[in-house]
Structure 1
Amino acid sequence: MTGMDVLRILLIAGGAAMAVSCGGEAPPKREAPARPVAKAAAAAALPAVDVGAEIASFYKERGFKPLWVRRSGLTPAGERLLEMIGRAGEDGLDPSKYGLPLLRSAAGAVAGGDAATVAKAELLLSRAFADYVRDLHQPANEKAVFFVDEELAPARTSRREVLEAAAAAPSLERHLEQAGQMNPLYEALRTALAQYRSSGGDPAGERLLLANMERARSIPANPGRRYVIVDTAGARLWMVEGRKVVDSMKVIVGKPDMATPEMAGLIRYLTLNPYWNMPPDLARERAKKVLKRGPGVVAAERLQILSDWSDRPRVLNASQVNWRAVASGAQPLRMRQLPGGDNMMGNVKFMLPNRLGIYLHDTPNKANFQLLERRLSSGCVRVEDAQRLSRWLFGGKVVRPSGPAPEQNVDLPEPVPVYITYLTAVPKAGGGALFRPDVYRRDARMLAMVDDRARQRRA
């Protein structure tokens, strides 16, 4: 009996693919495959290996050819896979979840083992590989990040898809390297965790590093050819090409009570000479000023009062507004500031259209970038050097408005992803980790996930 024959038997006996026969076809109805299959499994003196229908159908369609084993032992790819599973703890994952002790035992028995032993090792390795890759690339809390553009979210793959990608690879060993590769931010945190552990770091710091690796897991392994990362905890922006940071600048982000969300979207165009659409809470504050100082406040701040939030609102006179109702919050009011001068948007907005109304933009208040505490905005991200960011987005080209007309939109040559994250633990220059205050109070939820994994390991 060959290894492929026994692989068929184990799949059927495990209940994963009851329609599979030794010929790869569904058996005729007059046959009863369960009894002879059970006898064959018993003769092999091995328990059935239940790997599920997805893995069973994968093997059926490839003629039950193995990926990881041969009669003389594991293939180089199988050895590499076993090593990867053994190091899953470096990613905050639990090697025992993937059956590491059983994997090692089965792998050690392959050389010189019978066909059933070889087949069992193959199935166990495939199940472990599929589960490990999915866990590595999928964030524990998928709802923590708002994905404006779903194509930027980490891919959700099935066990079968993971195995099909491996089987189709020209080099399985090279494919394993790629499967373990994550985005540069995550990999830097993984290195920091290893250094922190080796230097005898305390458990609290380790938990924070693991929690921030979970955040970084929300950025795809391949974030794009060119992309932007904004870290709201550190109030900093990076421009990245491939796996290399090419530039960086300070940013101003949301106040603690108006926190900038974790999100990802595509910067699709610039808006030159932008209006500033005033947030509702600030419109209430302006209404209070009008009640105290008179309607001249509106003209002094170059504000427009608009009839509604449509694309073509009417401009209202200050005398048409019930300022007391607006100041109390009983009546909403749309107000916007005209372009130029002290417009809060500066000269340009970097638009990633989204329902939260969050984007990157210029600002006239450059002095605020010298502050250590730069959580000052109403949620949007103010950039230190909008012209420098614009030139990078346009490949070195300087983009200028055509005259004074407001709201001039200029499409990027190609959309550029921006990933807005929140890192309370980051790699430190020279090795180790730097820990930051949890100003937005988001760590508790992430730490609870880390603790849940730890409890599962101890159970």
Structure 2
Amino acid sequence: MRGSAILMSAVASLSLFSAPAEAKKRQSPPPPVPVRPAPILALPSSANAVTVNYFYERRQEAPIWFSGAGGAQAIADLLTILRRSAIDGLPQGPQYAAQVEAMVLAAQSGDAVARNTAERALSTAWVDYVQALQRPSTNVIWGDPYLVLKPSAPDRILTLLGAAPSIGQHVATVAAVNPYYAALRDVALTEQSAGGVSDAVKLNLERARILPGNGKYILVNSAEQRLHMMEGGRSVGSMKVVVGDPKPPMLLPTPIIASTMHYAIANPYWHVPPHLIRKFAPDIAKNPAAYMKSKDYEVLSDFSKNPQILSPTSVDWKAVAAGTEKVILRKRPGGTNSMGKMKFPFPNREGIFLHDSPERVHFGKENRNISNGCIRVEDYRRLAQWLFGRDVAATSNEPEQHLQLPKGVPVYSTYLTMIPGPAGMERFADRYGWDRPGAMAGGLPATAGGVQAGGSPN
């Protein structure tokens, strides 16, 4: 009995001490939720400021611009770039330059916060500038989606900058874009200091912006009427070309295209353009079978890989001449085939490609804007040897022999009436009229090409 009393007394004593503790525990507020500090936005007017801020948070404020040797010169170069960057498509660049310069001067005090603020401002301005250079261009027929110009993500731009062996060299290379663009920008800056940049320079600068700064690619300049074999940003060889005729009734200038070539075709067929079929139709109607035999033509059922060969007498050629009936006509390989001995296709919606030509006389003319849009090359053998790294040719008389390239080669067909040369800026006649604003949609007129899918202007 006495033991039970003692136990009950002990339980009562424990409750006496524990009750207030339990009550206090129930009444204590929950621990506060950590609040993420607001990011330091060095250039709050930039849409990239927050992303750049988080980039530096992830790398624990490790600097790029203030990281060591060469940084001071790279900073000075960036400020120079920003001051002129309105020409490059960054109108707020001069304002950025003034803001960033003030932050860089404040960072010279040695204060860590000031340095981090200046670091982020430099990177934000750099990201905005690079993205302005990479802005999309609607002036181009993009035949290869991998070549489409689009702004890189801020993380990628800054990672490439931080990984560069020389920040200064990286900044200079990216800002140059390519030799054509850099030379045209110098002309624009000279004109700007004299009162204003001309429309011709502005438009050429925009057309030059899509060209790579390095690598191996084909450059066809319709204004120059030449093809350049480009390596490392310079021409390692060139040849004359015949390009599209912009004059009525043709209205078929060679459009601005960026695509990739993956193969060539030896002993190619020539698919006759629709406007020429209508032109030939009255003569064909007189004796279809004889005409087809004399010209080595075939009437096709479709543009498939293995089309059916139709009888020429099954076609109403008078209706074809009137434009009320359509027909597909191709010429077999041979000495008079307009494609010559080899053609070099690359994807694009207008059916434009490079090809050989049996009509050699045109390469001796000053004005070579006479084709139906496609690009006739002066020396297909030399072009093929450069593309393949060896001599290539047809292995038999079999038509349409596909020759696979070791690696795809980009093709840029453009229109530059001004290009840098050994003696300064070379200028060419504006035969397409594309150096006038309003005369074209940035370089690509609505009438360019116009050939059906599978068709082949020459």
In structure 2, how many angstroms separate the alpha carbons of the residues matched to 1:328 and 1:255?
24
Structure 2 residue aligned with 1:255: 245
Amino acid at match of 1:162: I
**Per-residue displacement from partner, 1:242-295 (whole Å, max 9, x unpaired)?**
233121111111121112221122222121111101111211112122235765
Equivalent in 142, 146, 149 of residue 144 of structure 2: 149
| 2:180–2:420 Cα contact (<8 Å) kept | no
Matched, 1:159 2:154: yes
**Per-residue displacement from partner, 1:301-352 (whole Å, max 9, x unpaired)?**
1111112222222212221111122112211101000111210101110122
| CA 113–438 in structure 1, closer or farther in 2 if over 3 Å, else same | farther
Query: CA shift at 1:102, angstroms?
Result: 1.6
Query: CA shift at 1:172, angstroms?
Result: 2.6
Equivalent in 399, 403, 416 of residue 410 of structure 1: 403
Structure 2 residue aligned with 1:99: 96
Matched, 1:221 2:213: yes
In structure 1, how many angstroms separate the alpha carbons of the residues matched to 2:307 and 2:50?
58
| 1:58–1:164 Cα contact (<8 Å) kept | no
In structure 2, how many angstroms separate the alpha carbons of the residues matched to 1:115 and 1:405?
74
In structure 1, how many angstroms separate the alpha carbons of the residues matched to 2:127 and 2:31?
33
Structure 2 residue aligned with 1:23: none
| 2:84–2:93 Cα contact (<8 Å) kept | no
In structure 2, how many angstroms separate the alpha carbons of the residues matched to 1:361 and 1:48?
53
Which moved further from structure 2: 206-215 or 83-92? 83-92
| 2:265–2:401 Cα contact (<8 Å) kept | yes
Structure 2 residue aligned with 1:346: 340
Matched, 1:322 2:316: yes
Structure 2 residue aligned with 1:436: 429
In structure 2, how many angstroms separate the alpha carbons of the residues matched to 1:49 and 1:249?
49
Structure 2 residue aligned with 1:122: 119
Query: CA shift at 1:229, angstroms?
Result: 0.3
Q: Normalising to structure 1: TM-score of the pair? A: 0.79
Q: Percent identity?
A: 36
**Per-residue displacement from partner, 1:46-87 (whole Å, max 9, x unpaired)?**
99787533112201111123333489xx74433332233234
In structure 1, how many angstroms separate the alpha carbons of the residues matched to 2:441 and 2:262?
36
Query: CA shift at 1:187, angstroms?
Result: 2.6
Amino acid at match of 1:30: P
Amino acid at match of 1:403: S
Amino acid at match of 2:185: R
Matched, 1:299 2:293: yes
**Per-residue displacement from partner, 1:115-152 (whole Å, max 9, x unpaired)?**
5443332222221111011112335xx22112222223
Structure 2 residue aligned with 1:232: 222
Which moved further from structure 2: 406-415 or 155-164? 155-164
2:397 match: secondary structure: coil
In structure 1, how many angstroms separate the alpha carbons of the residues matched to 2:59 and 2:283?
74
Query: CA shift at 1:355, angstroms?
Result: 3.8
Equivalent in 378, 383, 397 of residue 372 of structure 2: 378
Equivalent in 403, 412, 417 of residue 419 of structure 1: 412
| 1:69–1:121 Cα contact (<8 Å) kept | no
Amino acid at match of 1:57: Y
Matched, 1:212 2:204: yes
In structure 1, how many angstroms separate the alpha carbons of the residues matched to 2:283 and 2:440?
44
2:223 match: secondary structure: coil
Residue segments in structure 1 that go unaligned for 5+ positions in a row: 1-27, 450-459
In structure 2, how many angstroms separate the alpha carbons of the residues matched to 1:367 and 1:64?
66
Query: CA shift at 1:32, angstroms?
Result: 6.5
In structure 2, how many angstroms separate the alpha carbons of the residues matched to 1:372 and 1:294?
38
Equivalent in 45, 50, 54 of residue 57 of structure 1: 54
In structure 2, how many angstroms separate the alpha carbons of the residues matched to 1:184 and 1:61?
36
Query: CA shift at 1:443, angstroms?
Result: 4.1
Which moved further from structure 2: 400-409 or 113-122? 113-122
In structure 2, how many angstroms separate the alpha carbons of the residues matched to 1:312 and 1:156?
42
Query: CA shift at 1:33, angstroms?
Result: 3.8
Query: CA shift at 1:368, angstroms?
Result: 1.0
Query: CA shift at 1:418, angstroms?
Result: 1.4
Pairing 1:442-453 to 2, within 5 Å after superposition: 443-444=436-437
| 2:161–2:167 Cα contact (<8 Å) kept | yes
Residue segments in structure 2 that go unaligned for 5+ positions in a row: 1-29, 443-458
Query: CA shift at 1:92, angstroms?
Result: 6.1
- For the aligned residue pairs, the C-alpha RMSD in angstroms reads 3.2
| CA 57–303 in structure 1, closer or farther in 2 if over 3 Å, else same | same
Structure 2 residue aligned with 1:274: 268
Which moved further from structure 2: 179-188 or 238-247? 179-188
Query: CA shift at 1:168, angstroms?
Result: 3.1
1:259 match: secondary structure: coil
Query: CA shift at 1:97, angstroms?
Result: 5.5
2:437 match: secondary structure: helix
In our comparison, the structure showing a higher alpha carbon Rg is 2
In structure 1, how many angstroms separate the alpha carbons of the residues matched to 2:267 and 2:297?
15
In structure 1, how many angstroms separate the alpha carbons of the residues matched to 2:90 and 2:440?
14
Equivalent in 270, 280, 291 of residue 286 of structure 1: 280
Structure 2 residue aligned with 1:3: none
| 2:243–2:371 Cα contact (<8 Å) kept | yes
Which moved further from structure 2: 423-432 or 320-329? 423-432
1:156 match: secondary structure: coil
| 1:425–1:436 Cα contact (<8 Å) kept | no
